[in-house]
């Protein structure tokens, strides 16, 4: 059985969701952040050298990084689900773009916004650039979702699972939902999916601005 080393308020929530969408059996090993530092506990370093979550174990294989884990699950167990048809080169390219965009581009300005917001006036010189980059990335995602309900148009895929974390994190910023209506509608759609709700139930309370 697949074991998920799950840290509260983290990207590992996406892994639970992917497993629920695929209907795979799994076991959750829970870890809690330090309430003062919000860091993962040292126990996670016994699972993977980085000491971060998510990490899965599957028949002796240990794998970290949410994007890599979700791609592995879809390729190994998906049987054609949650991914475009293998022979459709354009769709495959689009799918890979969004799978990697989530952490490769979308998260950086959001993390900078989160961390610098804790610095007060000391971060003032950085704020205009961060705000500009954040708006640029959110506008790009919003425009894509104006073309269809999912990042692959009418087809729900693992790319939507992977993209959920940066979009949900963005929704924590005041005014995001009003300025980027298609992102807000996307969050409503994913949060009503039975598999999403089952994952949150198993993973526990989920704060999108902590992972």
Helix %, strand %, coil % for the chain, to 5?
A: 55, 10, 30
Q: Read off φ and ψ for residue 210, nearest 5 degrees.
A: -115, -20
User: Would you place residue 115 in the very low, low, confident or very high pLDDT band (cuts 50, 70, 90)?
Assistant: low
Residues 6+ apart with CB under 8 A from 177: 171, 183, 184
DSSP state of 105: I
CA atoms within 13 A on the CB side of 144: 20
* Domain 2-82+195-203 fold: Glutaredoxin (3.40.30)
Q: Which two tokens stand for residue 6?
A: 């799950």
Would strands 55-58 and 61-64 be described as parallel, antiparallel, or unpaired? antiparallel
Measured CA to CA in angstroms, residue 77 lies from 29, 81, 87, 140 at distances of 21, 9, 18, 31
Q: Which of residues 124 and 211 earns the better pLDDT score?
A: 124
pLDDT by residue (tens digit) across 53-74? 999 999 999 999 999 999 999 9
Q: What is the pLDDT of residue 131?
A: 80
What pLDDT sits at residue 80?
Answer: 93
Q: Using CA atoms, how far apart are residues 99 and 194, in angstroms rounded to an integer?
A: 22
Spatial distance between the Cα atoms of 31 and 197, rounded to a whole number of angstroms: 20
As given in the structure block, the two tokens for residue 176 are: 């995001």
Q: Label residue 157 left, alpha or beta by phi (over 0 means left) and psi (-120 to 50 means alpha).
A: beta
- CATH 1.20.1050.10 positions along the chain are 89-193
Reply yes or no on domain 89-193 having CATH 1.20.1050.10: yes
**Is pTM beyond 0.85 here?**
yes
Cα four-point dihedral sign 33, 29, 106, 156: negative
pLDDT category at 209 given cuts 50, 70, 90 is very low
CATH code 3.40.30.10 region(s) in the chain? 2-82+195-203
Q: What's the pLDDT band for 159 if we cut at 50, 70, 90?
A: very high
């Amino acid at each position: 059985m697949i074991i998920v080393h799950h840290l509260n308020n983290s990207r590992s929530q996406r892994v639970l969701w992917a497993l629920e969408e695929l209907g795979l059996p799994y076991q959750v090993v829970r870890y809690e952040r330090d309430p003062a530092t919000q860091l993962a506990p040292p126990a996670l370093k016994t699972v993977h050298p980085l000491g971060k979550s998510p990490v899965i174990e599957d028949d002796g294989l240990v794998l970290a990084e949410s994007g890599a884990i979700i791609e592995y699950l879809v390729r190994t167990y998906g049987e054609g689900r949650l991914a475009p048809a293998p022979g459709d080169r354009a769709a495959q390219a689009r799918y890979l773009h969004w799978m990697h965009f989530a952490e490769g581009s979308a998260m950086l300005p959001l993390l900078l916004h989160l961390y610098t917001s804790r610095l007060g006036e000391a971060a003032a010189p950085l704020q205009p650039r961060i705000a500009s980059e954040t708006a640029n990335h959110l506008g790009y995602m919003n425009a894509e979702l104006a073309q269809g309900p999912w990042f692959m148009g009418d087809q729900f895929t693992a790319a939507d699972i992977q993209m959920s974390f940066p979009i949900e994190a963005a929704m924590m910023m005041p005014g995001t939902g009003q300025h980027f209506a298609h992102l807000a509608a996307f969050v409503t759609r994913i949060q009503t999916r039975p598999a999403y709700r089952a994952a949150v139930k198993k993973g526990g309370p989920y704060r999108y601005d902590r992972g």
